[in-house]
Amino acid sequence: MQAKIVTLPGDGIGPEVIAEAVRVLEAVAARFGHTFAFEEALMGGCAIDAVGDPLPEATLAACESADAVLLGAVGGPQWSDPTAAVRPEQGLLRLRQHFDLFANLRPVRTYPALAGHAPLRADLLDGVDILFVRELTSGIYFGERHEQGDGDRAWDTLFYTVDQVERVARVAFESARRRYGKVASVDKANVLAAMRLWRRTVNQVAADYPDVELEHVLVDACTMHLLRNPARFDVILAGNMFGDILSDEASVLAGSLGMLPSASLNASRFGVYEPIHGSAPDIAGRGIANPVATILSAAMLLRHSLGLETEAAAVEAAVDAALADGLRTADLVAPGETPASTAAFGTHVIEHLVQSD
Ligand code: IPM
Ligand code: MG
């Protein structure tokens, strides 16, 4: 097949990890007989520096013409002044909103090859395979009142409509059907009206999925269950902010934030794919970042936007094989071990990919 993929490397380690994911996608194209055209565009702090806007019109136009977008990371200390009028993160939020990317999929699994690396006891991590479905274009991030008062007050409104909850809940239930048949919906219905609407709506959607088991979990309790018994979860459905927080917490289960990919999808198959980690300015430019999250995001791109399931699974298997070979980037090495560079890890994944049958 032919596909156009726009890359938005962004800031910090973004360009380094995107470079590896693009090499992997090129290897997929060669191995499976596809033609992928890549176009790179500016987004985030680098776009602010270049043109004064974290999401320039030209970038939006490029994304409009693409089948999918692969994004690195945005942000850094030089753009973090809280009084600044433009911030890199605004570009990310506008991109999500512009394409109505309401369903954010964040799979979290543990890797046998990394057992012992995570700070939790290995027996707790056995069998962990969670899919976060995070609502991404509404909630408190996009509430109607979002302002800094003149003096000592500021507002962010938590707001949800039935439609907004319903569509993301359907994604969660559909996903559960293809997995282990369970949805845990996270809310704070004991305190917040918008979260009572969330719970009521999820219950209504659940009526269409009698084969899927639903439980409601309060967000504070969920943080605890994720550490005490993570294997009990299948699909975790959460609003924008709770999903943001819980998915970072759950990354600890995988051993490193550098392992977790994500897909942000709209109602058509269009999506923006990105690692859930940030731009890590402290290690940028040194060639030591973990490219796994971005390579696995590219696998999600193949699966969800291009419908290439075999190719996606081949990339995932190649990452598993590289880890099983003992390859580790700096975030995963034990003291005294020599880490693999970002590029060395990418090369190793590609070697497995071209060898696989
Ligand atoms: C994420 C990030 C973003 C978010 C920030 C950078 C705006 O933390 O994708 O999880 O909060 O959604
Ligand atoms: Mg986050």
Reported as a single tens digit per residue, the pLDDT across 58-94 is: 999 999 999 999 999 999 999 999 888 899 999 999 9
Percent of the chain with pLDDT over 70: 99
Q: How far is the CA of 356 from the centre of ligand 2 (A)?
A: 34
- At residue 339, the pLDDT reads 95
Mean pLDDT to the nearest integer, 155-184:
98
Dihedral class, residue 161 (left if φ above 0, else alpha if ψ from -120 to 50, else beta) = beta
Q: Classify 1-107+261-357 by CATH class.
A: alpha beta
Tens digits of per-residue pLDDT, 39-62?
999 999 999 999 999 999 999 999
pLDDT tens-digit readout, 193-251: 999 999 999 999 999 999 999 999 999 999 999 999 999 999 999 999 999 999 999 99
Q: Where in the chain is the domain with CATH 3.40.718.10?
A: 1-107+261-357, 119-254
For residues 335-356, average pLDDT: 93
User: If you take atom 4 of ligand 1, which residue's CA is the nearest one?
Assistant: 244
Which pLDDT value is given to residue 357? 64
At 147 the pLDDT is 83
Q: Has 244 been annotated as catalytic?
A: yes
Q: Which atom of ligand 1 is nearest to the CA of 274?
A: 9
DSSP letter at 325 equals: T
CA 236 to chain centre: 14
pLDDT for the residue 146: 85
Q: Which CATH architecture has domain 119-254?
A: 3-Layer(aba) Sandwich (3.40)
With a 6 Å cutoff on the Cβ, whether 249 touches ligand 1 is: no
Q: Name the residue with the closest Cα to ligand 1, atom 8.
A: 244
- Contacting residues for 33 by C-beta, under 8 A, at least 6 apart: none
Catalytic pick among 111, 141, 209, 273 = 141
Residue closest to 67 by CA, chosen among 299, 304, 276, 291: 304
